[in-house]
Amino acid sequence: MPAVGGTLAPATLPPAGLDGLDPSFSRVVRVTERGASVDRGWHLLDNADRLAELGVEPVGTILCVHGNPTWSYLWRRLVDAATDAAASGGDAWRVIAVDQLDMGFSERTGTRRPLARRVQDLGDLTNALGLIGPVLTLGHDWGGVVSLGWAVDHPELLTGVLLLNTAVHQPENKPIPAPLRLALQPGILGRGTVLTPAFLETTLSLAHPPLRSAVKDGYRAPYRGAERRGGIGGFVADIPVDADHESWDELERIADGVSKLRVPALMLWGPRDPIFSDRYLDDLIDRMPHADVHRFEGAGHLLAEDVDYASAVLTWLGDRIRTAEELPAAPVEEERAPLWHYLDELQGSDDAAVIDMVPPSGDAPRVVSWKLLSKRVRQLASGLGAAGVKKGDRVSLLIPPSADLVAVLYACLRIGAIVVVADAGLGLGGLTRAVRGACPDHVIGATPGLSAARALGWPGQKISTTTYPAPLRRALGVSHSLAELVALGADERMPEPPAAVDTAAILFTSGSTGPAKGVVYTHGQLSAVRDALAAQYGVGVGTGLVAGFAPFALLGPALGARSVTPDMDVTAPKTLTATAVAAAVKAVDATVVFLSPAAVANVVATSAALTDDDRSALDGVEQFLSAGAPVSEPLLAAISALMPSATAHTPYGMTEGLLMTDITLDGIRDAATQDGAGGVCVGTPSGPTRVRISPLDDNGHATGELTDAASVTGEILVSAPHVEDHYDRLWLTHRASRLGGIPGERWHRTGDVGHLDEVGRLWVEGRMPHVLVTADGVVTPVQPELQAQSVFEVARAAIVGVGPRGLQQVVAVVETTNPARRVSLASPELAEAIRDAVDVPLAAVLVVPRLPTDIRHNSKINRSALSTWADGILSGGRMVAP
């Protein structure tokens, strides 16, 4: 259809004074329209002349294409950043940001311009400019489709593709996004897109945070008046809603061509986009699985305004385009037995493999033998294949710890499906972000998980752990139950097993240091986790394992151990009681017990309920482990008294590497005798793990070369075969976690700050974001916190900084043993006692009823929030609790 309300108007330069737009980059070029024998005026932002003034030769060109209803103003920051980088001696990238015809300040043609025409228009422009390679395309919204069309048509010039929120395919069984459906309604199209600025204003409202008025005016500048908005309506009308639309075939052609592109690719995505949701990102990743992807949590459709995308683009260009030949090869993975090794080896055994303390029905624990577990895994694996689950598919598991969870997990691993594990402890919002971010192809869950999935629109085929009545099945959108999968897989037909380098799992972090991140493990890396646990703690065939921490329950069959999760709410560790631990120990004749620090505290608190029989069972435990957060010596001693024959360990690790160092209770006591050590001692590296320190500079940044020298404080880096592969769809985060490592090796920056001592023990002094920089130097928080807690009246303490970095003042915020009723300054006597105990000068001591903690780790103090709060209090704010 013609552009609604379109009239002829020439291309012009933007008016002076638009916020953030350097007018020297603007120019108008005349381009002959292929097949029409008419010249069209195009407005461009182009830094070629500025690069020439600098005397630098471009290393390549970034061709930027905006969508609807924006214009080249969208790319102003990239033009500036690329030019500044060249002026500073960096790579000189020419940036050409176009205004598509009928858009921005380009010519108003008054003619219909469907998708194929727009792709041809862009080709006409690049021909007129005499553009030569290497060229990278960068597109957003429908400009992404147009730029990809150009990329498919110009393989001889193309070096890479970059995308912000866009799409090249509309699933036939899914409606187009609601805002676009509304805009396409008869009677609304012209009024909403052309006669009024409604469509433009709606788009400008999608920024997070909201755009400043001056920036909005920049976007409005070329569209003031209905006669200039015809292209907006024409673009909306050209959305191919079905196969009868004239642009449908062109969209399909481009989508097919994109799947054949083998050039480097980068996708930067705002998940809060109501138009181009994560399902479109998932489709693009399926077409270009080699692409680097970064989802900016909290960003939306106007990603170019929401985040510093320009730095991300230039960083990626440096890594992937200019220096790709210099990047080290990936570490070679050692061959290891697959995770399901013991399920095959012990498939004829009637010995117990998994015990459910709280089975789905009945009061007695459910005992599942190796024979039954092995058979059920094979049946489920075969049934999953029959239900359409294939290698590389993502399967979100929303099943409480149980034999069902174990069987489904190993069935997925066996066929090469990727398990996505994000537990309910993240909270509904965090769990939703995790599931949507991982974009699973299938969801297998119990009723609570499936109900949430239905209510919140989580993606993927739904499979239930139980068989529902037909009405409930329909309501939850369930296609299969586990029982039906077992029947479908009765032949136990197995596909080829996945390779060690294939992705096995995405495990979400606790979210204690920001939004939960998906940590990707290959089969080889998960096998290495198993081998590290077996070697460090002697867990193997015949071991009885009590796992009050879900990952270790899932690793039980991989270790050949009898495993049980005690009767508890795994999302609330403090629900675990001493009697529940004793019952679990008796159920598997356990010699190894693993509990979280929060669970340990409640077990000690409820130990008076233990019977003589319970205590006798606990006396048979040989190894006790607690990790996930620091465990104090008194608490570890108290739990050790309940298991007097056990050696108590507190491994140091994180989701990205579950076992990095280890220390025993005796080791903690020995370390406590070391004067001036500072921080919390977490022991020596376990097995093949290596630990290095990147020293802090005067600004508190870890910039130094890696060292294992004693008494050097800096960021802790770890390397081991069982360190994660990468973060899922978080390319920038993954890149940052690898910076400064030894080339050719897999190193992970932990985000923790600490040091090694003279005998090679690691001491953790806090988190990197919590490092203070005062006028007297750098201060790490843990040591002064421990010193403050040595004062009798102090139950817990947090050390935070207020004021500008470099001049920060140190403030102690404390909970007292006799809890305070309100926020206040410490009494002179208490403040003096704390100042005497702490080595660094304190500007103030504040007393609070309770320190704010992370939602998942009761023992982790949220120092970042506390610092902001303390700054407000000391600036004259109200004395309200943090």
DSSP secondary structure, 266-280, as one string: EEEE-TT-SSS-HHH
Same domain, 313 and 352: no
Angle between helices 309-316 and 731-738 (to 10 degrees): 60
Least-confidence region, from 93-102, 251-260, 533-542, 631-640: 631-640
What percent of the chain has a predicted confidence (pLDDT) above 90?
A: 72
- Whether 738 contacts 744, CB under 8 Å: no
Same domain, 198 and 158: yes
What percent of the chain has a predicted confidence (pLDDT) above 70?
A: 92
Residues 622, 356: Cα–Cα separation, whole Å: 22
> What is the predicted pLDDT for the residue at 466?
93
Asked whether residue 327 is domain-assigned, the answer is no
Does 437 or 473 have the greater pLDDT score? 473
> What is the predicted pLDDT for the residue at 550?
65
Q: What DSSP line would sit under 129-191, residue for residue?
A: HT--S-EEEEE-THHHHHHHHHHHH-TTTEEEEEESS--S---TTSPPPHHHHHHTSTTTHHI
Is the predicted pLDDT of residue 765 greater than 60, yes or no?
A: yes
Same domain, 347 and 417: yes
Is the predicted pLDDT of residue 86 greater than 90, yes or no?
A: yes
> What is the predicted pLDDT for the residue at 596?
82
- Whether 377 contacts 343, CB under 8 Å: yes
Same domain, 457 and 494: yes
Asked whether residue 568 is domain-assigned, the answer is no
- Whether 69 contacts 192, CB under 8 Å: no
Q: What single-letter DSSP state applies at residue 775?
A: T
Residue 706 sits in a domain whose CATH number is 2.30.38.10
State how beta strands 592-595 and 809-816 pair.
unpaired
Is the predicted pLDDT of residue 360 greater than 80, yes or no?
A: no
- Considering its fold, how many domains does the chain have in total? 4
pTM recorded for the entire structure: 0.90
> What is the predicted pLDDT for the residue at 402?
86
Same domain, 776 and 764: no
Residues 516, 854: Cα–Cα separation, whole Å: 12
Q: How confident is the model at residue 426 (pLDDT cuts 50, 70, 90)?
A: low
> What is the predicted pLDDT for the residue at 439?
87
> What is the predicted pLDDT for the residue at 453?
85
Burial call 492-504: b when 16+ CB within 10 Å, e when fewer: eeeeeebebeebb
Residue 368 sits in a domain whose CATH number is 3.40.50.12780
Same domain, 743 and 786: no
Per-residue pLDDT of 673-697, as tens digits, reads: 876 578 889 999 998 999 999 999 9
Which of 56-65, 447-456, 501-510, 790-799 shows the highest mean pLDDT?
56-65
Same domain, 754 and 798: no
Q: What single-letter DSSP state applies at residue 610?
A: -
Average pLDDT (513-532) is 89
Consecutive H or E run containing 623: strand 623-626
Domain limit, last residue, from 477, 507, 525: 525
Question: ∠ CA(742), CA(747), CA(751), 5° rounding?
Answer: 120
Residues 836, 848: Cα–Cα separation, whole Å: 20
Average pLDDT (778-786) is 92
Least-confidence region, from 11-25, 488-502, 568-582, 769-783: 568-582
Domain limit, last residue, from 503, 525, 547: 525
> What is the predicted pLDDT for the residue at 326?
47
Compute the 3-state secondary structure of the chain and give helix, strand, coil in percent, each to the nearest 5: 35, 20, 40
Same domain, 295 and 173: yes
Asked whether residue 8 is domain-assigned, the answer is no
Q: Residue 395 is which amino acid? A: V
Q: Which two tokens stand for residue 23?
A: 């007018």
Average pLDDT (326-349) is 81
- Whether 587 contacts 564, CB under 8 Å: yes
Name, in order, each residue with C-beta under 8 angstroms of 709's C-beta and a sequence gap of 6 or more: 693, 756
> What is the predicted pLDDT for the residue at 241?
76
Least-confidence region, from 172-186, 378-392, 452-466, 565-579: 172-186
Does 512 or 369 have the greater pLDDT score? 369
Number of neighbouring beta carbons within 10 Å of residue 358: 16
> What is the predicted pLDDT for the residue at 429?
74
Q: How confident is the model at residue 3 (pLDDT cuts 50, 70, 90)?
A: very low
Average pLDDT (575-582) is 92
Asked whether residue 593 is domain-assigned, the answer is no
Asked whether residue 326 is domain-assigned, the answer is no
Asked whether residue 775 is domain-assigned, the answer is yes
Name, in order, each residue with C-beta under 8 angstroms of 547's C-beta and a sequence gap of 6 or more: 401, 553, 556, 563, 564, 565, 594
Is the predicted pLDDT of residue 654 greater than 70, yes or no?
A: yes
Average pLDDT (94-102) is 98
> What is the predicted pLDDT for the residue at 174?
66
Q: How confident is the model at residue 327 (pLDDT cuts 50, 70, 90)?
A: very low
> What is the predicted pLDDT for the residue at 862?
76
Per-residue pLDDT of 484-515, as tens digits, reads: 999 999 999 999 999 999 999 998 887 666 67
Average pLDDT (247-256) is 94
Per-residue pLDDT of 143-198, as tens digits, reads: 999 999 999 999 999 999 999 999 998 766 666 666 665 656 665 665 778 899 99
> What is the predicted pLDDT for the residue at 9?
92
- Whether 192 contacts 183, CB under 8 Å: yes
Name, in order, each residue with C-beta under 8 angstroms of 329's C-beta and a sequence gap of 6 or more: 744
Q: How confident is the model at residue 1 (pLDDT cuts 50, 70, 90)?
A: very low
Average pLDDT (359-369) is 77
> What is the predicted pLDDT for the residue at 334?
76
Burial call 592-610: b when 16+ CB within 10 Å, e when fewer: bbbbbbbbbbbbbeebeeb
Is the predicted pLDDT of residue 622 greater than 80, yes or no?
A: yes
Average pLDDT (270-284) is 91
Same domain, 254 and 345: no
Is the predicted pLDDT of residue 361 greater than 70, yes or no?
A: no
> What is the predicted pLDDT for the residue at 487?
96
Residue 65 sits in a domain whose CATH number is 3.40.50.1820
Residues 484, 389: Cα–Cα separation, whole Å: 14
Same domain, 109 and 223: yes
- Whether 528 contacts 336, CB under 8 Å: yes
Residues 687, 661: Cα–Cα separation, whole Å: 9
- List phi, psi (to 5°) of 485: -65, -40
> What is the predicted pLDDT for the residue at 491?
94
Asked whether residue 850 is domain-assigned, the answer is yes
Least-confidence region, from 436-445, 712-721, 729-738: 436-445
β-partners of residue 421 are 507
Is the predicted pLDDT of residue 613 greater than 70, yes or no?
A: yes
> What is the predicted pLDDT for the residue at 26?
98
Is the predicted pLDDT of residue 599 greater than 80, yes or no?
A: yes
Asked whether residue 585 is domain-assigned, the answer is no
Range of the domain at 362: 341-525
Same domain, 716 and 849: no
Mean pLDDT for the chain overall: 90
- Whether 739 contacts 667, CB under 8 Å: no
Same domain, 859 and 782: yes
Q: Helix H segments across 568-706?
A: 578-588, 597-605, 612-618, 633-642, 665-671
Q: Which two tokens stand for residue 773?
A: 């920089």
Residues 420, 575: Cα–Cα separation, whole Å: 25
